[in-house]
Amino acid sequence: MVRKVTIAVLIVALIISNVFFIRKAQQSDYRIQIGISVNAAGNELSGIDFTKAEPLKNPDEISTILFALMNTQDAEKSELTDEIPNAVIFVGKEKSNVAQMTVTVWMNESTLVLKIGDDVNSGYKEIGNESYSADFQRILQEHISGSGN
Protein backbone atom coordinates (compact mmCIF):
# COMPACT_ATOMS: atom_id res chain seq x y z
CA MET A 1 0.00 0.00 0.00
CA VAL A 2 2.79 2.42 0.91
CA ARG A 3 4.56 1.61 -2.34
CA LYS A 4 1.42 2.41 -4.40
CA VAL A 5 0.99 5.73 -2.61
CA THR A 6 4.66 6.60 -3.17
CA ILE A 7 4.38 5.79 -6.88
CA ALA A 8 1.15 7.81 -7.17
CA VAL A 9 2.77 10.80 -5.43
CA LEU A 10 5.80 10.59 -7.75
CA ILE A 11 3.58 10.44 -10.83
CA VAL A 12 1.54 13.46 -9.69
CA ALA A 13 4.76 15.36 -8.90
CA LEU A 14 6.17 14.58 -12.35
CA ILE A 15 2.96 15.69 -14.07
CA ILE A 16 2.90 18.96 -12.11
CA SER A 17 6.57 19.65 -12.83
CA ASN A 18 6.08 18.93 -16.54
CA VAL A 19 3.16 21.34 -16.73
CA PHE A 20 5.18 23.98 -14.87
CA PHE A 21 8.23 23.67 -17.12
CA ILE A 22 6.19 23.61 -20.33
CA ARG A 23 4.39 26.81 -19.32
CA LYS A 24 7.66 28.41 -18.19
CA ALA A 25 9.33 27.58 -21.52
CA GLN A 26 6.52 29.32 -23.42
CA GLN A 27 7.04 32.58 -21.56
CA SER A 28 9.51 34.97 -23.09
CA ASP A 29 12.39 36.12 -20.91
CA TYR A 30 12.75 39.33 -22.93
CA ARG A 31 10.37 41.94 -24.21
CA ILE A 32 10.14 43.86 -27.44
CA GLN A 33 8.38 47.21 -27.67
CA ILE A 34 7.96 49.45 -30.70
CA GLY A 35 8.05 53.18 -30.02
CA ILE A 36 7.11 55.89 -32.48
CA SER A 37 8.99 59.10 -33.22
CA VAL A 38 7.71 62.37 -31.82
CA ASN A 39 8.23 65.36 -34.11
CA ALA A 40 9.03 68.82 -32.83
CA ALA A 41 8.73 72.08 -34.71
CA GLY A 42 10.83 72.23 -37.86
CA ASN A 43 10.56 68.47 -38.48
CA GLU A 44 13.13 67.72 -35.76
CA LEU A 45 13.05 64.58 -33.64
CA SER A 46 12.10 65.44 -30.08
CA GLY A 47 11.91 61.91 -28.70
CA ILE A 48 10.45 58.45 -28.94
CA ASP A 49 7.01 57.70 -27.50
CA PHE A 50 6.75 54.33 -25.77
CA THR A 51 3.74 55.28 -23.63
CA LYS A 52 1.23 53.51 -25.88
CA ALA A 53 3.59 50.70 -26.85
CA GLU A 54 2.61 47.36 -25.43
CA PRO A 55 5.25 44.63 -25.44
CA LEU A 56 4.77 42.22 -28.33
CA LYS A 57 2.90 39.15 -27.12
CA ASN A 58 2.54 37.13 -30.30
CA PRO A 59 5.39 34.56 -30.33
CA ASP A 60 5.45 34.56 -34.14
CA GLU A 61 5.94 38.33 -34.24
CA ILE A 62 8.69 38.14 -31.60
CA SER A 63 10.49 35.40 -33.52
CA THR A 64 10.15 37.27 -36.81
CA ILE A 65 11.61 40.47 -35.33
CA LEU A 66 14.52 38.63 -33.69
CA PHE A 67 15.34 36.48 -36.72
CA ALA A 68 15.12 39.51 -39.00
CA LEU A 69 17.59 41.36 -36.77
CA MET A 70 19.91 38.35 -36.85
CA ASN A 71 19.80 38.42 -40.66
CA THR A 72 21.01 41.99 -41.05
CA GLN A 73 23.91 42.94 -43.23
CA ASP A 74 25.85 46.17 -43.67
CA ALA A 75 24.27 48.82 -45.84
CA GLU A 76 25.27 52.20 -47.17
CA LYS A 77 23.85 55.31 -45.56
CA SER A 78 20.61 56.19 -47.29
CA GLU A 79 19.00 59.60 -47.80
CA LEU A 80 16.14 58.12 -45.82
CA THR A 81 18.27 58.26 -42.65
CA ASP A 82 18.38 62.07 -42.87
CA GLU A 83 14.68 62.04 -42.03
CA ILE A 84 13.05 61.33 -38.69
CA PRO A 85 13.01 57.58 -37.95
CA ASN A 86 9.68 55.80 -38.24
CA ALA A 87 10.21 53.72 -35.11
CA VAL A 88 12.60 52.60 -32.42
CA ILE A 89 12.51 49.01 -31.25
CA PHE A 90 13.37 48.34 -27.61
CA VAL A 91 14.62 44.87 -26.70
CA GLY A 92 15.14 44.28 -22.99
CA LYS A 93 14.60 41.93 -20.11
CA GLU A 94 11.00 41.12 -19.27
CA LYS A 95 10.98 42.60 -15.78
CA SER A 96 13.39 45.48 -16.40
CA ASN A 97 13.20 48.82 -18.17
CA VAL A 98 16.83 48.62 -19.27
CA ALA A 99 17.31 48.26 -23.02
CA GLN A 100 19.72 45.54 -24.03
CA MET A 101 19.39 46.65 -27.63
CA THR A 102 17.72 49.51 -29.44
CA VAL A 103 17.07 49.49 -33.16
CA THR A 104 16.26 52.69 -35.02
CA VAL A 105 14.14 52.06 -38.12
CA TRP A 106 13.63 54.17 -41.23
CA MET A 107 11.30 52.84 -43.89
CA ASN A 108 9.27 53.76 -46.92
CA GLU A 109 7.51 51.68 -49.57
CA SER A 110 10.73 50.27 -51.04
CA THR A 111 13.46 50.72 -48.42
CA LEU A 112 14.08 49.53 -44.88
CA VAL A 113 17.17 50.84 -43.07
CA LEU A 114 18.16 49.91 -39.51
CA LYS A 115 20.70 51.23 -37.05
CA ILE A 116 21.36 48.83 -34.20
CA GLY A 117 22.47 50.49 -30.98
CA ASP A 118 23.04 54.13 -30.13
CA ASP A 119 26.74 54.17 -30.87
CA VAL A 120 27.80 56.91 -33.27
CA ASN A 121 30.16 54.44 -34.94
CA SER A 122 27.54 51.74 -35.49
CA GLY A 123 26.76 51.41 -39.16
CA TYR A 124 23.53 51.10 -41.02
CA LYS A 125 22.00 47.71 -41.70
CA GLU A 126 19.46 46.12 -43.97
CA ILE A 127 17.70 42.79 -43.58
CA GLY A 128 19.27 40.28 -45.96
CA ASN A 129 16.32 37.91 -46.25
CA GLU A 130 13.44 39.43 -48.27
CA SER A 131 10.82 37.34 -46.51
CA TYR A 132 11.99 38.51 -43.07
CA SER A 133 12.23 42.06 -44.37
CA ALA A 134 8.63 42.06 -45.63
CA ASP A 135 7.30 40.48 -42.42
CA PHE A 136 9.39 42.85 -40.28
CA GLN A 137 7.99 45.85 -42.15
CA ARG A 138 4.41 44.52 -41.90
CA ILE A 139 4.70 44.02 -38.12
CA LEU A 140 6.14 47.50 -37.66
CA GLN A 141 3.40 49.07 -39.78
CA GLU A 142 0.70 47.29 -37.76
CA HIS A 143 2.13 48.49 -34.45
CA ILE A 144 2.94 52.01 -35.62
CA SER A 145 -0.45 52.61 -37.25
CA GLY A 146 -2.22 51.01 -34.28
CA SER A 147 -0.28 53.27 -31.88
CA GLY A 148 1.38 50.25 -30.34
CA ASN A 149 -1.81 48.28 -29.75
Rounded mean pLDDT, 106-119: 84
Write down the pLDDT at residue 139: 92
Of 20-24, 54-58, 110-114, the one with minimum mean pLDDT is 20-24
Residue 39 has pLDDT above 50, yes or no: yes
Residue 149 has pLDDT above 60, yes or no: no
Write down the pLDDT at residue 10: 92
Confidence at 147, pLDDT banded by 50, 70, 90: low
Chain centroid, CA 9 distance in Å: 42
Rounded mean pLDDT, 16-40: 78
CB 115 within 8 A of CB 72: no
What the chain holds in terms of domains, given with CATH numbers, is 29-145 (3.30.1490)
d(CA 60, CA 82): 32
Average pLDDT, the chain: 82
Could you tell me how many residues make up the chain? 149
**Computed over its alpha carbons, how large is the radius of gyration of the chain?**
21
- Other beta carbons within 10 angstroms of residue 23's beta carbon come to 9
Residue 19 has pLDDT above 70, yes or no: yes
Strand order in the sheet with 124-127: 44-49, 30-40, 87-93, 99-107, 112-116, 124-127, 72-75
- Of the ranges 43-57, 61-75, 81-95, which is most confident? 61-75
